[in-house]
Amino acid sequence: MNAAMTTNHFDLVIIGAGPTGLACGIEAQKAGLSYLIIEKGALVETVRRYPVNMTFFSTPELLTLDDVPFTTTNVRPTRREALQYYRGVAEYYTLNLRLHTRVERVTKQGAVFEVLTHKNETVTAPRVVIATGYFDFTNRLLVEGEDLPHVSHYYDEPYRYSMTDVVVIGGRNSAVEAALELWRHKARVTMVHRGETLSSVVKYWVKPDIENRLKNGEIIAHLNSVVREIREGTMVIENTRTHECTTLAADFVFPLIGYRPDETLLRGAGVQLSDKLVPEHNPTTFETNVEGLYIAGSVACGCETWAIFIENGRMHAKPVIEHILQHQ
């Protein structure tokens, strides 16, 4: 049977149902394209996996899709409000979603892409947008003990860790906010960061808070330090200047050191990546070096994860769909 006659053939396949993937689906729908959004987790899975009590940096209007109003209780929306909003948008547009379906491989056969899922199902389309973000793939410490049960690269909520020794590794927003919340819920918190100071991009209203906690000794910080080994209940760090090693109490360890895109999926599709895993692409149309294959959202920034967020990533949808329409 001709692929175009099957229900698994579309004008466009979008991989990822985060805010950017949803934005691409909305633009495709408005343009009259048949499309399918495939997501390996739940709707906006990345947002769902954010810390339970997280508040966004942005105001609601910077997170909206297609000008659908986003109403919130306070100036900045919470994780829960964002989840409700994006679910409402998906329902409003009746987006064509296939959730909890992992894409294993994207290959191009002539002028058509074959998208293979973990359910051994193949979906075809002449155009594909990869909007997978980077949250599912964390940077690694590459030290012994990193995969022990008490070590997690994702922080969820503080209550489990009250009255325990917790080490937070990292110096950017996620690490700082986790450390503060853990401290406020009576965990004994130590931070370990390879830099001489915490990151300069720490949110301006959070920075004085963490600085005061460190100054008062309420949170202990080991700067210019790297992890050498993680053990059950303890861990060893080394000061990169003095080379002195210190053993820390560590009932729980959170290496919150950033994320990276799914390079296996990208490379498998033929996309060329830089040393920092930035996909080769046209910055205006977001088409990659593979004709007909686009990227959208934070996957476009590789390991430089501070460059693209929901606020600017959602804006990629319109130029992507416009370029697709021009080349049908």
Give this prediction's pTM. Answer: 0.86
Q: Enumerate the H helices of 99-184 as residue ranges.
A: 173-184
For residue 294, the one-letter residue type is Y
pLDDT at 237 over 70: yes
Cβ neighbours of 263 (radius 10 Å): 15
d(CA 307, CA 101): 28
The answer to whether the CB of 28 falls within 8 A of the CB of 321 is yes
What domains does the chain contain, in order, with CATH numbers? 3-137+259-326 (3.50.50.60), 159-255 (3.50.50.60)
Specify which residues 229 forms β-bridges with. Answer: 144, 236
CB of 117 within 8 A of CB of 235?
no
The reported pLDDT for the residue numbered 204 is 86
Q: Please state the rounded mean pLDDT for residues 184-206.
A: 93
Can you tell me which residue has the tokens 């987790």? 41
Selection from 310, 279, 247, 241 nearest residue 62 by Cα:
310
Give, for 238, the enclosing helix (H) or strand (E). strand 233-239
Angle, in degrees to the nearest 10, between helices 207-215 and 173-184 = 60
Pick from 169, 278, 248: nearest CA to 286: 278
> Lowest-confidence range among 7-21, 51-65, 93-107, 108-122?
51-65
- In angstroms, the CA 254 to CA 152 distance is 5
- Is the confidence at residue 226, as pLDDT, over 80? yes
- Please state the rounded mean pLDDT for residues 201-206: 86
Question: 252-297 pLDDT, tens per residue?
Answer: 999 999 888 888 999 999 999 999 899 999 999 999 999 999 999 9
Alpha carbon distance 287, 19 (integer Å): 19
Residue 168 sits at the vertex; the CA angle it makes with 74 and 221, to the nearest 5 degrees, is 100
The pLDDT, as a whole number, for residue 7 is 64
Tell which residue, 152, 184, 134, 171, has the closest CA to residue 298.
134
Count CB neighbours of 120 within 10 A.
7
Q: Using H for helix, E for strand and C for coil, what is the string for 261-285?
A: CCHHHHHHCCCCECCCCCECECCCC
Q: Are 257 and 138 in contact (CB under 8 A)?
A: yes
Structure tokens at 37: 């959004």
Does pLDDT of 127 surpass 90? Answer: yes
